[in-house]
Structures are given as structure tokens and as C-alpha cells.
Amino acid sequence: MKKNHTTGLAWNPRGGDAASFVAGATAAAPAGGGAVATDEPVSVGASVSEFEELMSDYINKFVGLSTNIGGPVATIGAEVDKCFKAQTAFLQMVAKSKKPAGWPGCAEILAPMSNCMMAVGEVSDYGEWKNHCQMMHAGIQCAAWVAVEPTPGPHVKETIGASMFYGNKVLTAAKGKDQNQVDWVKTWKEFLEELEKYVKRNHTTGVSWNPKGGEAAVAGGGSAPSKKGPGGPPPPPGPPPKLADLEDQRGGKPAPNTGALFADLNKGGGVTAGLKKVTKQKAASSKVVMKQKGTKVTKKMGTPKCALEGRKWACEYYVDDRTGTIKIEGCSVKETVTIFRCINCVIQITGKINAILLDDCEKTSIVCTDVVSSIDVVNCKSVEIQADGRVPTILVDKTDGCQLYLGKSATDATIILSKSSECNVTTPGATEDDDGVEQALPEQFSNSFQGGKWVTVPVTHG
């Protein structure tokens, strides 16, 4: 991408109308006697060819592995195939068209991709394929890079960590049992890494439209309006859309406004500007309503919150939230994070932090980068920690079930256990192509009196 789309998608200045790539759209002649895009074959550019090679090298292989695995994974593979075929057609259109007004809020152009993304999100399983589905729920968001400005590259990078949090679980479970599943996860990870590089090379600040191209399609399927010239008045507007065209064929429900969804991605913190504030008194008086099939909570709980108090981030009382919405962002080396009594949640911590404390939590997973001091796990059950950066020390005390996923930068960490059981550590393989290595930390020790002193060694089995 860096070589071909440095500032965005490289649209073709001699190409046709972008509307020709949208079902039912027609190219409109520009007012004022301007040139009309022709149907002559035009080169789509090296960047599009590079993207097509990316699809051929990774997506085709991924779809084939998905079919071999079967079940919900095969369904996901089919939707991923449709999504990136639609994205290839979109990039071909971009190479031939100018940037339309209102971009990226053009729902009709984005609909083929966004519909497939939503279809992947609707595939769910709570048994054997749970982690596979969750991996792709997070990973398919990479396709939204075309609607992200001005930094689409970091958007793709974020999906790698979120997707591989569950992908590593699939690798651990399938290692030595099903090579198709191992190759399936590795192929998807490699694709995301190559997609990030492609976006950075070719679309650094957003999709590279062709300033000399034809008129691109906008919401509603028409072509972008052109300025009035001496050639005469513009043609009258077309008939209003039929009600049937606005309904979702799958259920008769109104089709989702995907254009507004993609437009909101660029608002950042402004997307919450219209929300009403809840007073502390009202929040304190409200009760936590558990879902009918949710986790049964026996501990005394308070009001969920995630806020910075002085130099300490307090994240407390969250239940059944594994969607990745609990995020602690913009941390500094002078701040600490305390996660207290969270149950069945996923918490992401970005930025370099001083220390992290996980206290009285169950079935909770955290993802972090660099930690200056230590990660402390106290009085917890069945927790998971993924450290992608440097972590000097990890302390595990009075904990039953702790799974540690350490990146290359964290393999020199010192792990101290006390009164704990079922603690496993997964570290990277010798090369990037090798599977992660999982090892159990000893919880039993043998003591013998030798040479006038007691000698303690861990107990090994087998």
C-alpha cells in the first residue's frame, strides 16, 4: 500500500463513472457540456493489482481452509470472500472516479461490504466454534478501513490484536489436533498484517480518489452533482425510491443506514456528544439487571464504572461484557490501573502504564502493552492476561486458573506464584511460523533435607 496509495485510494483520472460499480446506478452526464466517462478499458493502477494479489495469496487460501473446517467457520469464510470481492470492485471504481461529496457517508457504495461485515457478526456459536466466531467478529472490522480518515492504517492494526486475542485460543486448542484450524488462524493473521502494510503504502490518509476521474456514486445510487454550466439546466430529479427498495429483503425491516455508521467512525470522541449525562444519584440508585442467561452473580456488586481518579484508573463491577467496549486509553507511566470484581469481561489497556492490579475477578481477560512495574493478580478465578509489550514482573497470588499470553517483548518477565493453581504460560514459537508454546508453572514442590539444609525442587509428572 505504501508504494501505490500513499495518500489514499489511487483513482483513475481516465476511468469511467464510479456509479457503474453499484447495482442500479447509472453515470450522469456532467452539466455544462463536460466530458463524459467512456467505457474504454482503463488501467486500474498498480495499487489495485497489488490488492488483487493480496486477495489471491491470502483470502482464497483462507476461504478454502474455512470450507474444509466446515460448520459456522465455512459460513464465515463465504461472507469474507464476498466482502473482499466487493472491496476489490470498490478499489477498481476508486481508480476511475473522483471523491464524491459527503464521503465517507455514501451508503450505497459501502453497502456491499458493510452487509457482509454484518453477516459475519451474525454468525455465532457457544460451543466448539465460539472462539472462531469471536475472532472473526473482531477481525472483519478491518474491511472498514476504506471509510476511515485520516488514519486507516492504525485502524487495521487495532483489529489484529483484538482478533488474535481469540485466535491464540484457537491455536492452543487445535495444536497437534487439527492443522486446518492452525493454518486458518495463521493465514488470517498474515492477511491482516499484509493489509496494514498495504494501507500504509497506498492509502496513508484515506482512500486515494482520482481527482481527474469520472463522477462517483453517492447515497441513493445517482452520480455526484456537477456545477451548472452554459450548456443548459440540469436534468429533472428522478422518481423517489420505492418503499420496497428501502426494506431489508431478509426480514422486511428497514435497511440499516450503513453510510451514517461509517461516517460516525470519523467523529472520534464526538460520537458521544449527543448522549445524556446520568447524575451520580441516579446511577447509584439504579440496579444491575442481569440477563436471563447471563452469569449468576453471588458477590455484592456496585455500580459499574471505568474512570481516572487522580493517578489511578478504577475499573469495577462490570459483568458479561466481552465485546471489547471496556477500554482504558491514553495511559501514562505515572498512572496505575485497578480492576476490581469484574466478571466475564474483556478489558483493553493501551499506552504505557505504571502497574496493573487484577483483584477478585472471575473469567476476565485483559490485554495490555508496556507495564513499567508489575502486573498483580490477586484472589481471582479463571483469568487471562495478554501482554504484548515489556512487563518486568507478574505476581499471581491466591488465584485458581491464570492463563498468561506473553509476546516476544515480555518473555523476560519474572513470574512469582503463591497459593495459586492452574497457571499456564504461552510464549511465541522459535519463528513467526511456529505455534505458540504453552507450559504449566509448577504448583507442587518436593522438599528434602540434604547436607544440613532443606532443598526444594518443583514436582514434575511424566
Question: What is d(CA 343, CA 341) in angstroms, rounded to the nearest whole number?
Answer: 6
More confident residue, 319 or 5: 319
Scan for cell 480518489, then name that residue: 209
Q: State yes or no: pLDDT of 197 exceeds 50.
A: yes
DSSP H helices in 212-303? 258-265, 280-285
| pTM for this predicted structure | 0.45
What contacts 60, CB < 8 A, 6 or more positions away?
none
* Residue pair 108/22 in contact by the 8 Å Cβ criterion: yes
Q: State yes or no: pLDDT of 34 exceeds 50.
A: no
Per-residue pLDDT tens for 286-312?
555 544 467 888 889 999 999 999 999
pLDDT for 229: 41
Percent of the chain scored above 70 by pLDDT? 74
Scan for cell 456537477, then name that residue: 226
Number of H helices, E strands in the chain: 9, 16
- For 164, 264, 356, 425, 434, the CA distances from 176, given in Å and listed in that order, are 19, 44, 34, 18, 12
Scan for cell 456528544, then name that residue: 273
* Residue 280, SS3 per DSSP: helix
Confidence of residue 435 (pLDDT cuts 50, 70, 90): confident
DSSP state, residue 57: I
Q: State yes or no: pLDDT of 206 exceeds 70.
A: yes
> Which amino acid belongs to residue 309?
E
**Which CATH homologous superfamily contains domain 18-25+42-222+258-262?**
Adenylate cyclase-associated CAP, N-terminal domain (1.25.40.330)
Fold equal for 18-25+42-222+258-262 and 300-443: no
Q: How far apart are the first and last CA of the chain?
A: 51
What contacts 202, CB < 8 A, 6 or more positions away?
1, 2, 3, 4, 5, 6, 8, 9, 10, 47, 50, 208
pLDDT for 219: 33
* Residue 203, SS3 per DSSP: strand
What contacts 337, CB < 8 A, 6 or more positions away?
312, 313, 315, 328, 331, 349, 353, 355, 356, 357
Q: State yes or no: pLDDT of 19 exceeds 80.
A: no
pLDDT for 181: 93
Cell of 345: 469481561
pLDDT for 26: 40
Question: What is d(CA 444, CA 262) in angstroms, rounded to the nearest whole number?
Answer: 54
Mean pLDDT over 318-326 rounds to: 89
Q: State yes or no: pLDDT of 313 exceeds 50.
A: yes
Per-residue pLDDT tens for 344-358?
999 999 999 999 999
pLDDT for 35: 34
pLDDT for 226: 39
Confidence of residue 235 (pLDDT cuts 50, 70, 90): low
pLDDT for 22: 46
* Residue pair 414/395 in contact by the 8 Å Cβ criterion: no
More confident residue, 160 or 235: 160
Question: What is d(CA 247, CA 28) in angstroms, rounded to the nearest whole number?
Answer: 26
Mean pLDDT over 56-63 rounds to: 93
Q: Within its chain, how far is the Cα of 293 from the centroid?
A: 26
Indicate the average pLDDT of the chain.
80
Of 107, 111, 95, which Cα lies nearest the Cα of 42? Answer: 95
> To 10 degrees, what angle do helices 71-94 and 130-139 make?
10
Q: State yes or no: pLDDT of 448 exceeds 60.
A: yes
pLDDT for 335: 94
pLDDT for 39: 40
pLDDT for 282: 62
**Residue 216: other Cβ atoms inside 10 A:** 29
DSSP state, residue 354: S
More confident residue, 47 or 345: 345
Q: Within its chain, how far is the Cα of 128 from the centroid?
A: 22
Provide the residue ranges of all domains of the chain, joining segments of one domain with +.
Answer: 18-25+42-222+258-262, 300-443
pLDDT for 220: 34
pLDDT for 25: 42
Confidence of residue 124 (pLDDT cuts 50, 70, 90): confident
Residues paired with residue 2 on neighbouring β-strands, in sequence order: none
Question: What is d(CA 432, CA 418) in angstroms, rounded to the nearest whole number?
Answer: 33
More confident residue, 101 or 260: 101
CATH topology of domain 300-443: Pectate Lyase C-like (2.160.20)
Confidence of residue 111 (pLDDT cuts 50, 70, 90): confident
Per-residue pLDDT tens for 72-106?
999 999 999 999 999 888 888 888 888 887 776 67
Q: What is the largest CA-CA distance in the chain?
A: 107
pLDDT for 275: 73
Scan for cell 482520482, then name that residue: 210
Confidence of residue 389 (pLDDT cuts 50, 70, 90): very high
**Residue 151: other Cβ atoms inside 10 A:** 16
